[in-house]
Amino acid sequence: MKIKVLLVDDHVLILDGLKQLLDNEEDIEVINYLSNPSTLFTVIQQTFPDIVVMDVRIKTENGIELTKKILDVYPQIKVVILSGYDYDEYIQAAFQAGASAFVTKERSNDELVSVIRKSYQGNKVFPRNMAKINQTSMDLTRKEREILKLVAEDKTNYEISDELNISKRTVERHISSIIHKLEAESRVGAVVIGIRKGLLSV
C-alpha cells in the first residue's frame, strides 16, 4: 500500500519539484497538490491523505494554524512542515501544533522522502530535541492560549473574566503565567512573542 501524500505550497516551482521527487518513489503517491489553501479541507475530505506536506506560510495563511485545524478534524493525518528558514520559533510552533516533522526547503530534496516514511510510521522528525522544548516555556495550557488570544484582541482583564466566566484574579494569574512562560516583559510583549512563535494567527 502506497503512502498517500498531499502537497501544499504557494510556490508552483517548488510544488512541481516536490511532485517529481516523490513520484520517483515506489511506495509514495502524490494524490494532489495545491498552491491555494482555500480548498485544502475539501481536498482532504475527498482524498484522505496519509501525509500533508505544507509550507509554513501559504499566501495569507499560516501553515502552523492550518496544521492545528487539520489535526483537530483529522487526528490520524501526519503533517510535515516545510520552511525556507530554520528558525527555532518556527520549529517550536510546528511541534506545539502537533506536526510530525519539520524540514527546511534547502534540505527537503535529501530528507523529505525519509521524513515522509518516518512520519507515516508514527515518528516525530525535528531538527532538535523538541520533546525537551515542549516541556519548557512554550507549553501554554489551552486556557492560557485562549486568554492570550483575547489579550491580542485588546480585551481588558475585566472583559476577559466576563467572557470566560472566571474571576478577574484568575485572569491575572493566567496572564502572569503566560508572560513568564513566554519570557516576555508585558502583555504586549507576550502577544508579539505569541505571534512570532505561531501561537497566534495574524
Which structural domain range is residue 189 located in?
A: 142-196
Domain end (from 134, 158, 178) = 134
Nearest to residue 71, comparing CAs of 95, 98, 94? 98
Asked if residue 155 and residue 58 are part of one domain, the reply reads no
Tally of domains within the chain: 2
pLDDT of residue 128: 63
Asked, for residue 74, whether it belongs to a domain, the answer is yes
Is residue 201 in some structural domain?
no
Same domain, 33 and 130: yes
Query: Cβ neighbours of residue 46 under 8 Å, at least 6 residues apart?
Result: none
Whole-number pLDDT of residue 137: 45
Grid cell for residue 201: 494567527
On whether both 60 and 90 belong to a single domain, the answer is: yes
For residue 202, being part of any structural domain is answered with: no
Question: Do 125 and 153 lie in a common domain?
Answer: no
Mean pLDDT of the region 162-176: 94
**Percent of the chain topping pLDDT 90:** 53
CATH code at position 126: 3.40.50.2300
- pTM, two decimal places: 0.65
- Domain boundary at 112, 134, 156, which? 134
Task: Examine the domain organization and report whether 61 and 115 are in the same domain.
Answer: yes
d(CA 191, CA 45): 34
